[in-house]
Amino acid sequence: MSKHYTEDKWHDKKISDGYYGFGVAKLNELYNEDVLQDIKTYFAKEFSDIDKISNTLKNSRDSNPKFQYWFKKELEENNGNVSERISTAYKKLYPKDITLNKNGKIVYDFTYIKRVFYYLNETSWQWSKIIEIPQIQDLCLTVEPSALTNNLDKNGNLIHDKSNLFNKDGNSIIHKNNIFKSIINQISTDAIRYLYNEDLNDYDEQKQHINIIPEYGVMGMHYDDTSGDDRDFTTIIYLNTEYREDFEGLLKFYYPNFGIVADGSKINGGPMGEYSIEPSYLNVVVMNHRINDNVAGLIRHEVTKNSNSKNRYSVYTTYRKK
C-alpha cells in the first residue's frame, strides 16, 4: 500500500489539520453529558426567547439596495411565475417607492426578509438561480446583542436580559466556579483551545452578532471581508438544538481541487471541493485567521436553503490578540 495520499484523502487531512483556515469542534467531545444537557436546555430557552421577538427585529447594518431594486422589478414583471394570488398580494404589500437612508442604503427588517424568501420559494426558479440574484447574501438578518436585551414579546412581557448568553460578565453554566465568562465566550474558549491549543484569555472580543435565517432562506456565496480588522479567530455557534438532515441550512466551505471534479461541478469558473457543516448546537465552527496568510478570510462559503419551518440562529464572534 502506498504511503502517499489520494487527492480526496489529502484534502480530508488538510481540512482536519485546519489548512484551509476552518475547523469544527464537537461539543460532545468537549463536555460531559450533564454539561451538554445544560447547554442544550439553555440554548433552547434562548432560541425560544429570540423567536418571540424576531418579527420586531431590524438589521444592525445597512445594505446596498441592489436587491430591492431587483425585487421591485420582479414584482412588476413576475418572471418567476408565482401564482396570481401571491403576485397581487405582494404588489399591494410593496409599492413602487423605495426609501433609502442618508447613506443611500437600505435597512431590512425580518418580516421583509421572511416574505421575500417565501416569494422566491413560490417561483419556478431552481435555487441555483436564486442564489445568483444580486445582493441576496444581504437577506440574512444580522442583529447586535444589544437589540436582543430587555425586549418585550408580542404580549408585552419582558424578555430576560441576555448577559449570560453574550456578555463577558454573565454567569457560566459550563464551569460552575467561573462566573466571568458568557456562555458563548466560554464555548469559544474551549473550542479554540481544543482545536488550536490557544487560550482566549489572551484575546479580546472584537465584534459579535447573531445571524437569523428564516424558512426558505439562504446566504449566498461570499467570503468574510477581514480587511477592516485584525481578527485572529472567528467562531460560529448555533442555537438550534434540534436538527434533521432534511432541514438543510448547511454551512458549506469551498476549496480548490487539483483537477476536474468527477461530476464536473464548477464554482467561479474553476473546479471546487466542498465541506458541509450541519447548523446544530453540537457543532462549533472556528476560523483561524493566523494561518496560511489568512486563508480563512478568503475561502468562499454559503448557507444552503433552510428547509426547517423554524429560524436558523448562529452567533458570530471575532477575537483579536491583546
Q: What DSSP string describes 221-233?
A: EE----TT---SE
Q: What is the pLDDT of residues 106-127, one digit of tens each?
A: 999 999 999 999 999 999 999 8
Q: Are 311 and 37 in contact (CB under 8 A)?
A: no
What is the H or E stretch that residue 283 is in? strand 283-288
Residue 76, in any domain of the structure: no
Residue 2, in any domain of the structure: no
Cβ atoms within 10 Å, residue 13: 11
Residue 208, in any domain of the structure: yes
Number of domains the chain is built from: 1
Q: What range defines the domain where residue 242 resides? A: 7-60+140-321
Q: How far is CA 221 from CA 79, 150, 262, 284, in A?
A: 23, 34, 22, 20
Residue 297, in any domain of the structure: yes
Measured in degrees and rounded to the nearest 5, phi and psi for residue 225 equal: -75, 110
Taking the C-alpha atoms of residue 182 and residue 48, their distance in angstroms, rounded to an integer, is: 19
Grid cell for residue 58? 431590524
Grid cell for residue 68? 430591492
CATH number at residue 247: 2.60.120.10
Question: Which of 51-65, 135-149, 253-267 shows the lowest per-residue confidence on average (mean pLDDT)?
Answer: 253-267
Residue 96, in any domain of the structure: no
Q: What is the pLDDT of residues 151-210, one digit of tens each?
A: 555 565 655 555 556 555 444 544 443 323 488 888 998 999 999 988 877 777 788 899
* Signed CA dihedral, 62, 65, 71, 72: sign only: positive
Residue 201, in any domain of the structure: yes
Residue 161, in any domain of the structure: yes
Q: What is the pLDDT of residues 246-260, one digit of tens each?
A: 999 999 999 887 655
Residue 269, in any domain of the structure: yes
Rounded percentage of the chain residues whose pLDDT exceeds 90: 52
Amino acid letter for position 32: N
